[in-house]
Structure 1
């Protein structure tokens, strides 16, 4: 059986007795075309299953209408919400999103970015890996006239726009809350020292202690490498078995905080009566563990939307030189793990 021939603009024009350009503009509802003609063309196209040749359209516009997005982890509550926001905004503007992950490894990030570039994406959204510092592979996009927007985990060494949250203020608010609840000896299980958002959160922690005039010891700061639940467990063990154990712990992420809580519960510590715990990121699990975990909301969906809006605007303007920074505010989410009073806050 012969495959049915695909209907073209020329076919529609011939059947309706109008030019190909009129058919094209009618399908796009061009203001110069009469409403009767638009309806006639659209009705005919729909009844005859007309499918536009997007490849040809995109070729003429020198665009693929695909954008790339690379995150450290796909199976991660925060990044999954960022991806959802990015997909929503991309689809609203007629773009498709190609998603990949770096596994927080530079080598994997380079492979993912080169694959995106070879796929001729029109631009790239990226949250860099913990091992990325120079980002030469990302500069390759700019060299080819394709804009890049960094979000969440960024490096200042790349001349691109950035969409971030106010990590320092969010951390400061979290520690201030612990202090207001009566916790006076507060430790911090932080992220890697060479990662910007981890350093911002650590600075916010230190600032809050300084303003309150509380103890601030280097041995109360523990540094994660993998940002894992097990590191939260192991570092909490070190802190609680030390000579001057804390009565409050602020963790770099909720995952680390869950490890901290696991150690405390296994060893008979009452949360928050004896030790208050605060996370960061507001994972879905935070609201279902017992006790429910206090955290800091990063508004991942909004970050995905704002990052995509910025990238698509640059694509339309053919702009690869913008270096603006968009900073989103965090929100303190107080639950049982840090609240000494019984009343809701």
Structure 2
């Protein structure tokens, strides 16, 4: 007679429609798990003669010397530089990097996280999707004793270490430059209102206008949802065809700025003589677009490098409880799209 298949944690999780990490923590009576769930899981395990796999437990406690890295987009200059920095730093410390993307979609991010957990990465670096708010799927790493570090796009709902740039100050300096160059009617193509770095850039924009006593109009602020070239084109068109058009546009990213440039050139509006354009990120395309684009340098390589170093240090120290924030400074890279000598 064939031997019965041994019950696993995955079997329990599947039967009760819960995650594997929840089943594991329930069996250990973890304080984050409700009494009802603990009772249900233990009763099911006892009824079906569940015996923990000591070999698997020991394997999970050992290191694989691999870290996970999840970004919204792989084919994206900023995130590709982050990945390069993280891989270089990890390699120096004897680790490899498993990379995935969320496509800026919450469900894809959840799938990527669970795949990383199943691959037994020792920790996770993540720039969250535009749809992520609470991030319970990210907490599953913490519950498994694996540290997590957020970077660039983050949520304060998750108490993890973070590596970011000073988005507020970067935006402030960008708008200050536009004002000092002579532009006095400055629009902003912003990111989603629920995304923290987009909010910080919008606040920096507004503060610069206030400090230098320049006009602020709600009609000059347009919210990009997809953060792409087409939105830059469409919003620049709407702004310039309005009854009160701006003479400068500060954009949430260089890709959005490229769309704005394309519209202005198509409409015969001179850059920078009639309208100045400022981007954010300092992508490679900023150098090669005509006219070349002034931008705020986000230092993607340094973000990836620092985040990986911090994560591996926490893996080595078995530290999943700290939540410090490292903030890197931005700098302006000035090019033709705001060139003072061409005004």
TM-score range, shorter chain: 0.7 to 0.9
- 1:154-186: CA deviation from partner (whole Å, max 9, x where unpaired): 000001000000000000000000001100000
Match of 1:155 in 2: 155
Matching of residue 297 in structure 1 with residue 297 in structure 2: yes
TM-score (norm 1): 0.82
2: distance between equivalents of 1:278 and 1:256?
Answer: 10
Q: How far does residue 339 in structure 1 lie from its aligned partner after superposition? A: 1.2
Secondary structure of the 1:206 match is helix
Match of 2:201 in 1: 201
- 1:43-85: CA deviation from partner (whole Å, max 9, x where unpaired): xxxxxxxxxxxxxxx9598100010000000000000000000
Secondary structure of the 1:341 match is helix
2: distance between equivalents of 1:196 and 1:130?
Answer: 10
Q: Is the 8 A contact 2:82 2:301 kept in 1?
A: yes
Match of 2:50 in 1: none
Q: How far does residue 340 in structure 1 lie from its aligned partner after superposition? A: 2.5
Equivalent residue pairs, number: 286
2: distance between equivalents of 1:158 and 1:232?
Answer: 31
Secondary structure of the 1:100 match is strand
- 1:63-118: CA deviation from partner (whole Å, max 9, x where unpaired): 00010000000000000000000000000000010000000000000000000001
2: distance between equivalents of 1:233 and 1:342?
Answer: 23
Secondary structure of the 2:274 match is coil
Matching of residue 184 in structure 1 with residue 184 in structure 2: yes
1: distance between equivalents of 2:339 and 2:214?
Answer: 19
TM-score (norm 2): 0.82
Secondary structure of the 2:232 match is helix
Match of 2:103 in 1: 103
2: distance between equivalents of 1:223 and 1:280?
Answer: 15
Secondary structure of the 1:337 match is helix
**Structure number with bigger Rg:** 1
Match of 2:63 in 1: 63
Q: Is the 8 A contact 2:272 2:342 kept in 1?
A: no
Match of 2:257 in 1: 257
**What stretches of structure 1 move > 6 A for 4+ residues in a row?**
none
2: distance between equivalents of 1:230 and 1:181?
Answer: 27
Match of 2:131 in 1: 131
Q: How far does residue 341 in structure 1 lie from its aligned partner after superposition? A: 1.1
1: distance between equivalents of 2:60 and 2:83?
Answer: 29
Match of 2:143 in 1: 143
Match of 1:233 in 2: 233
2: distance between equivalents of 1:300 and 1:336?
Answer: 23
Alignment of 1:38-117 (within 5 A): 62-117=62-117
Q: How far does residue 342 in structure 1 lie from its aligned partner after superposition? A: 5.3
Distance 1:60-1:147 versus aligned 2 partners, 3 A rule: closer
Unaligned runs of 5+ in 1: 1-57
2: distance between equivalents of 1:226 and 1:254?
Answer: 13
User: What is the CA RMSD across the aligned residues, in angstroms?
Assistant: 1.3
2: distance between equivalents of 1:266 and 1:299?
Answer: 32
Q: Is the 8 A contact 2:60 2:120 kept in 1?
A: no
2: distance between equivalents of 1:342 and 1:194?
Answer: 37
2: distance between equivalents of 1:296 and 1:159?
Answer: 28
Match of 1:326 in 2: 326
Secondary structure of the 1:97 match is strand
Secondary structure of the 2:188 match is strand
Secondary structure of the 1:327 match is strand
Matching of residue 211 in structure 1 with residue 214 in structure 2: no
2: distance between equivalents of 1:280 and 1:137?
Answer: 30
